[in-house]
Amino acid sequence: SDNSKNRNIIEELERLKNEVLTDPLTKLGNRRLAQMKIETRMQELTTYDIPFGVLFMDIDHFKQFNDNYSHEVGDQVLVMVATTISNQLRGMDIGARWGGEEFIIVLGNVDHEALGIIAERVRFFIEKSWLSVDGNNLGVTVSIGGTLAQKGESLEELVKRADLLM
């Protein structure tokens, strides 16, 4: 029937949209999704004064995991960090892989205090997670920079400031 055909098309579009906006390795959002979400939040900030912030993070000494172990282990580290990020997000937040070993979290409706608390929680839980590789427990730490968005600034300016605060 036409109805089920339409339903299949809608499901297929939904699947494609998810594919286009998802990082295949970590299953977090990708850079494009983060950019879209920041643009939306910027409009909300300008129009309704709803504040938002971004956390920008980098896995410390990531190259060592690839060099000392393997790219597979490096990938597992990325997945572990991404999973930890996902588990710390509130419903209105979005986590994304910005590129390489960089991640970004877009936090809806936060002030400086909430931004700091969430950043610290994410950092703490990543530090407490570990991978078992060849009988060794591999831990990982992240550097995080966080900032609230300011009206009228560009996406690039916002992300750059968070990056510099790392």
Strands (E), the chain: 52-59, 94-99, 102-108, 130-133, 136-139, 142-148
C-alpha pair distances (Å), 23 with each of 5, 20, 70: 29, 8, 20
Strands (E), 11-122: 52-59, 94-99, 102-108
Rounded to a whole number of angstroms, the CA Rg of the chain reads: 18
Round to whole Å and give the CA distance between 29 and 67. Answer: 27
Round to whole Å and give the CA distance between 57 and 34. Answer: 13
Active site residue 101: yes
Q: Residue type at 23?
A: D
Give the number of other CB atoms < 10 A from CB of residue 47: 8
Which listed residue (11, 14, 101, 157) is catalytic? 101
Residues designated catalytic: 101
